[in-house]
Amino acid sequence: MSEFKPLVFSGVQPTGNLHLGNYLGAIRKFVALQESHNCIYCVVDLHALTAQIVHQDLVGQTRSITAAFLAAGIDPKAHIVFNQSRVPQHAELAWIFNCVARIGWMNRMTQFKDKAGKDRENASLGLLAYPSLMAADILLYRATHVPVGDDQKQHLELTRDIAQKFNSDFSDRIAEIGLGVEMQVGKELINGYFPLTEPLIDGPAPRVMSLRDGTRKMSKSDVSDLSRINLTDDADTISKKIRRAKTDPQALPSDVEGLVGRAEADNLVGIYAALCDRTKAEVVTEFGGQQFSAFKPALTELAVDVLSPISEEMRRLLNDTTHIDAVLADGGERASAIADRTMTDVKHIIGLQC
Ligand code: TRP
């Protein structure tokens, strides 16, 4: 019995500046996974069109995400780094998935409901179909694992629903052509073409919150720049933002239970832990009983140590974009080779190809 080969895929939208939340929640995990898996990391520029069709500088934004990937330590030779629109099969497979998925599934997505707001009739069709393109991104490479923030969990479930419906709608055909991989789905043994992809969500800081309000996510769209640490911030700016981060008047607790109900303290401890690959429990064991006036300088030093080399390397890479452009072109070619095989299989399975 064959099995799906473990493969990691993830995507980042080229909209807005990357901040600490993106780095700790996504990019840092991408870097770590390179040790154990083959990885494909994609700048999803087609997804950037779903909320808004006209953009200032998509190419520049795409380069800047790519620069962050490389600066953080992603190796584009050992793995694959590219932007989505270079590989037209993403859109092609998404169309097939639009015909597999149901409108009801899309309507239930909380991200769609949030982004579409009150006037859903006026949202773009692309915004509604966003998860279908995301499923195509992943399944085009038959990826088995997807590192994402927990806000993307629902989209990953939908990706599995699409894979499962495709596998079962075409199970006879998949078996007949001999393209299937046998897998257990509930009680049934299915001859599936697409794997049921698993999200990878763990880590000490799955969710980095705003520095001004520990109950809201750190976000590039927050009006206050003090609410986030951008990957391009210099040491002085990082230091200022941490100094001004909201806290409560108590000292740090000595155990993690003591962080319950203290959103800001919990967030800063979580950031510290994630930046040095330790658990929150270890961090409060070290800092328990100390005031924020002592903890904040330690956090600043750690943040500057980790982030400065990345922002310097990003600046260097973006100064002359030849290297970045070459990485994307090469990654695009290698991704296309895989994507082409999948689309040929899919056309065969569906009956679009004789
Ligand atoms: N929707 C993801 C986000 O907003 C971005 C994304 C698009 C993605 N395609 C993907 C993430 C495929 C993982 C895998 O974060």
DSSP 272-289: HHHHTT--HHHHHHHHTT
Best probe residue, ligand 1, of 19, 42, 69 (max atoms within 8 Å of C-beta): 42
Tell me the C-alpha distance between 62 and 79, whole Å: 18
Residue 351 class from Cβ within 10 Å (0-12 exposed, 13-18 middle, 19+ buried)? exposed
Best probe residue, ligand 1, of 146, 148, 159, 217 (max atoms within 8 Å of C-beta): 148
* pLDDT at residue number 191: 82
3-state helix, strand, coil in the chain (%, to 5): 55, 10, 35
* pLDDT at residue number 151: 87
Ligand 1 residue neighbourhood (C-beta within 6 Å): 9-11, 13, 44, 47, 134, 137-138, 146, 148, 152, 155
Q: What is the pLDDT along the chain (354 residues), one digit of tens a residue?
A: 468 999 999 999 998 789 999 999 899 999 999 999 999 999 999 999 999 999 999 999 999 999 999 999 999 999 999 999 999 999 999 999 999 999 999 999 999 999 999 999 999 999 999 999 999 999 999 999 999 988 899 999 999 999 999 999 999 999 999 999 988 878 888 889 999 999 998 765 568 999 999 999 999 889 999 999 999 999 999 999 999 999 999 999 999 999 999 999 999 999 999 999 999 999 999 999 999 999 999 999 999 999 999 999 999 999 999 999 999 999 999 999 999 999 999 999 999 987
Residue 268 and residue 209 in contact, taking contact as beta carbons nearer than 8 Å? no
Best probe residue, ligand 1, of 42, 152, 219 (max atoms within 8 Å of C-beta): 152
Active site residues: 115, 217, 220
3-state SS, residue 331:
helix
3-state SS, residue 291:
coil
Q: Which atom of ligand 1 is nearest to the CA of 44?
A: 7
Look at ligand 1, atom 11, and give the residue with the nearest C-alpha: 11
Look at ligand 1, atom 3, and give the residue with the nearest C-alpha: 12
Q: Which atom of ligand 1 is nearest to the CA of 9?
A: 14
75: left (phi over 0), alpha (psi -120 to 50) or beta: beta
Q: Which atom of ligand 1 is nearest to the CA of 84?
A: 9
Compute the distance from residue 294 Cα to the ligand 1 centre, in Å: 38
Burial letters 232-270, b for 16+ CB under 10 A, else e: bbeeebbbebbeebbbeeebbbeebebbeebbbbbbbbb
Closest CA to 87 of 336, 326, 342: 336
Compute the distance from residue 155 Cα to the ligand 1 centre, in Å: 8
